[in-house]
Amino acid sequence: MIVTGSRSLEASGRLARLFAELQRECSGFLHTTVPAEPTPELIDAAVESGRKGGTDTVIAIGGGSVIDAGKAVSAMLLQRHPVERFIEGRPGFLEHDGRKVPFLAVPTTSGTGSEATCNAVISRIGADGFKRSLRHPAFVPEVAVLDPELLCSAPRHLTASSGMDAFTQLMEAWVSPFASPYTDLLAFHGLEYFSRSFLKACSDGAADLAVRGDIAYAAFLSGAVLGNAGLGIVHGFASSVGGAFDIPHGVLCAMLLSEATRENILRLQLSGSGSHALRKYAAVGRLLTGRAEAGTEEGCMLLVQELENWQSLLDIPRLGAYGIGAGDAGRLAGVTRSKSNPVDLGPESLEKILLACI
């Protein structure tokens, strides 16, 4: 089964060439499209089609939603229950046994790092919506192909929003209380590659394979570290806000990151026990701005300023553009959680972040 998005790969002509190659080299294939973030219903329908067609391998070529969908189909073809029974936090939750068919991931955006993770995010948007994971260590793709040429046609807004997701994952894993020397090495390595090429990828370097390769590598590392160190409050909001409102995941990360970082730094400073995380935030601020001489306090300030600059430069919208008003902030803050944030944020802090982004 080939899983793709609904338009881009076909418009590029690559899908037709792939189909021609498959017709020569294999006994048969199916094609499933993923127009948006995958829902339980989309996964169940694709699985039913795959079973009828005798699918024994799944290949996903696309952005994070496409790769998550392919990963979920691979995981569910050998199961007898609907996918929702295996999604964390849903009623009647069942532990998955890890049985799956082989899965290959070919990302065409640099964002989620799903090509390196063991989970697939499944969503249902609405008042009672959710955005949660189907997860097992066996779900890491057997093969991930990072080809910068596939990334060059991504438009500026998609490059920006998906890139901000990758950056958020790298930084949240970097400052996580569950970070280790292993994740620190990979996270900061990813931040170095990201910082030297992100703005180029969003501007005059969009067609440069070396630039796109840097961002692809950074996104891959973001997937590797998130599974080992966890993620912070921005991804906590991605679950609560993203389940209630139809906002692309990368856009939501881009909208919230500067204010969430500002509040984290403030609360760490006030706690008197956050010096380690503050030093880590400052290191990112020095990296992004080239101000190697900056101390901890100045480095933290530089980081927040640079994130605000990115929001302006990249035309990142605000929450209000997606129908979120001040009256929603308290309710959303009340259902937002993150066990891997570097500091415990109370409901007041969470509401403050949301209000500042509306």
* Whether residues 210 and 112 fall in one domain: no
| CATH number of the CATH domain containing 203 | 1.20.1090.10
The DSSP result for 159-220, as a single string, is HHHHHHHHHHHHHHHHH-TT--HHHHHHHHHHHHHHHHHHHHHTTTTTT-HHHHHHHHHHHH
Which of 242, 231, 246 lies closest to 168, judged by CA?
231
Cβ contact 302:202 at 8 Å: no
Residues 189 and 96 in one domain: no
Q: pLDDT for 193-219, tens place per residue?
A: 999 999 999 999 999 999 999 999 999
Query: Do 191 and 332 fall into the same domain?
Result: yes
In angstroms, the CA 179 to CA 176 distance is: 5
User: What pLDDT is stored for residue 128 in this prediction?
Assistant: 82
Using DSSP bridges, classify how beta strands 119-124 and 130-135 pair: parallel, antiparallel or unpaired: antiparallel
Q: Domain residues for 165?
A: 156-357
Write down the pLDDT at residue 350.
97
Q: How many CB atoms lie within 10 A of CB 308?
A: 16
pLDDT value for 351: 97
Residues 118 and 213 in one domain: no
- Does residue 18 lie in a domain region? yes
User: With a cut of 50, which residues of the chain have pLDDT below it?
Assistant: none
Domain with residue 35: its CATH number is 3.40.50.1970
Please say whether the beta carbons of 140 and 102 come within 8 A: no
Contact 197, 215 (CB under 8 A): yes
Are the C-beta atoms of residues 134 and 83 closer than 8 Å to each other? yes
In a domain, 151, yes or no: no
pLDDT at 272: 87
Q: How many domains are contained in the chain?
A: 2
Question: Which residue blocks in the chain are alpha helix, DSSP H?
Answer: 8-12, 14-25, 40-53, 64-76, 156-175, 181-201, 209-229, 233-244, 249-271, 275-289, 296-313, 326-334, 347-357
Domain final position from 93, 113, 145: 145
Rounded Cα distance between 234 and 32, Å, is 31
Q: Give the whole-angstrom CA distance, residue 3 versus residue 60.
A: 5
**Is 134 domain-assigned?**
yes
Q: Are residues 246 and 333 in the same domain?
A: yes
Instruction: Determine the Cα–Cα distance for residues 268 and 335; give it in Å rounded to an integer.
Output: 22
Query: Domain boundary residue among 145, 174, 198?
Result: 145
Residues 121 and 242 in one domain: no
Residues 129, 161, single domain; the answer is: no
pTM of the full predicted structure?
0.95
